């Protein structure tokens, strides 16, 4: 199931129909049958809303739904909604024995893995051009490497300065069960590392949407989120592939 439609705060639709997880969440502009509130506790006390929050990727909010003509946006006209749960992806602040922190430390301490592409791979996807040219079908992207111009997620080249960014991003993708693999990234926000929805216009590590390529191949750290259970999203349930091989 793709969650790419969850780009903004969503509102719980209160009905007599069966509710389970995301099936209870709808856009307020489509119906006035919503749960209004004065604070978050009002939302948490409602059984329908509580069922929606079984999904651990989201947290409750009580706020105006925006500039909808039907609802307005005054403080007196607030409704229950869910927003992405803000979680830390700062290895220094999390369980040092977790697989995430152990894998990240291995990445940043590795030697000869997170480096620019070898000469024989220049021109390949995820590598710099070979004498100004990319392999057939590839063009230079905004990160300065050869890439598939039709790919929705740009590639960027590994380097000693971004070692471990693939581990950080994989943790965020896994927590949010991001089956598309491009919606979440570990971002430096107000001097804190947190998981956030990515922004295609920003640099890697600062919220940008991109996938690390190591010596002409996507980092082996990334693991698809297929089949993950959103009711069990946690640090302990994160999954990672092995570190990329040294060239």
Q: At 193, give phi and psi (nearest 5°).
A: -90, 115
The tens digit of pLDDT for each residue in 161-175 reads 999 999 999 999 888
- Whether 181 contacts 211, CB under 8 Å: yes
| 3-state SS class at 132 | coil
Cα(168)–Cα(129) distance, rounded to whole angstroms?
A: 27
Q: What is the pTM of this model?
A: 0.75
- Report in angstroms the alpha-carbon separations of 147 from 132, 173, 213, 224: 13, 22, 10, 21
Cα(80)–Cα(40) distance, rounded to whole angstroms?
A: 7
Q: What is the 3-state secondary structure (H, E, C) of 141-180?
A: CCCCCEECCCCCCCEEECCHHHCCHHHHHHHHHHHCCCCC
Distance between the two ends of the chain, CA-based, in angstroms?
36
Cα(66)–Cα(143) distance, rounded to whole angstroms?
A: 35
Instruction: Delimit the domains of the chain by residue range.
Output: 10-84, 91-232
- Report in angstroms the alpha-carbon separations of 169 from 13, 18, 61, 192, 211: 32, 35, 25, 15, 9
| pLDDT tens sequence for the chain (247 residues) | 333 323 333 444 433 232 333 223 434 444 445 778 888 888 888 887 777 777 777 778 888 875 444 444 445 578 888 777 889 999 999 999 999 999 999 999 999 999 999 999 999 999 999 999 999 999 999 999 999 999 988 999 999 999 999 999 999 988 888 756 568 899 988 889 999 989 888 899 899 999 999 999 999 999 887 777 777 888 888 889 999 998 8
């Amino acid at each position: 199931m793709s969650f790419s439609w969850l780009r903004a705060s969503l509102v719980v639709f209160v009905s007599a129909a069966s509710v389970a997880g995301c099936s209870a969440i709808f856009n307020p502009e489509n119906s006035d049958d919503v749960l209004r509130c004065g604070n978050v506790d009002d939302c948490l006390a409602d059984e329908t809303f509580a069922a929606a929050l079984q999904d651990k990727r989201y947290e409750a909010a009580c706020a105006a739904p925006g500039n909808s003509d039907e609802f307005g946006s005054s403080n007196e006209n607030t409704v229950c909604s869910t927003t992405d749960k803000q979680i830390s992806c700062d290895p220094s602040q999390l369980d040092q024995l977790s697989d995430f922190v152990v894998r990240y430390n291995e990445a940043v301490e590795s030697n000869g893995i997170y480096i620019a592409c070898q000469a024989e791979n220049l021109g390949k996807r995820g590598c710099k051009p070979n004498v100004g040219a990319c392999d057939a079908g590839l063009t230079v992207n905004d990160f300065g490497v050869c890439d598939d111009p039709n790919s929705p997620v740009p590639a960027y080249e590994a380097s000693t300065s971004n070692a471990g960014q693939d581990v950080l991003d994989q943790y965020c993708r896994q927590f949010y069960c991001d089956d598309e693999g491009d919606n979440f990234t570990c971002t430096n926000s107000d001097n804190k590392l947190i998981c956030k929805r990515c922004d295609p216009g920003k640099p890697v590590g600062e919220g940008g949407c991109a996938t690390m390529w190591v010596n002409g191949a996507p980092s082996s750290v990334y693991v698809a989120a297929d089949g993950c259970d959103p009711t069990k999203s946690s640090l302990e349930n994160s999954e990672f592939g092995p570190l990329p091989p040294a060239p």
